Structure 1
């Protein structure tokens, strides 16, 4: 449900609640959360690579930690009502569709930038 590096439930709750309070629908808020997460992860991978880190090693280490934390009992999410309400939507992963949609948005923005800077 919650993808790295965005594992702070308090942060995610606040992020989603802020989007909803600004008129985002629940689906749009989940989409924005996923888009932000993808952007952040991509940026962090580029930054880590520029510093000489091997992203494959970092991903393997994270996978081990995820498996260990998965062995813990279920978390009490009563303090996170927005996260709880959107849990089913957050659990759906369609990476291909998300990538294609995000790529389309990026290409549109690049075309707009090209026209504006021409």
Structure 2
């Protein structure tokens, strides 16, 4: 999952960002070195601790929802914030799939999705 992204036509800025990353700079320092860099809201989890990865994904989803430029941005942001406020859901790894909020008991790359199936994916016993 990306920790940073951004767009620029200035390859020198890209080189500065890459050098800062290579040198182990903190994310905010990379942003200062290359102003085109956008922090995604995720934080580095070097030990891949599932609880910290889950927290990082929630943080990223909140930030992304706040930055959307759609008429439904406020509704989507309210959904993310309400779900995160619920302790049972906050303990799960959150992700979006086609703007639908989903949950998993495991982190990426091997998600174990829980909750109701997506529309069109449910199968009845008669069709099994």
For normalisation by structure 2, the TM-score amounts to: 0.25
The structure with the greater share of residues assigned to strand is 2
Larger Rg: 2
Larger relative contact order (C-alpha < 8 A, sep ≥ 6)?
A: 1
The structure with the greater share of residues assigned to helix is 1
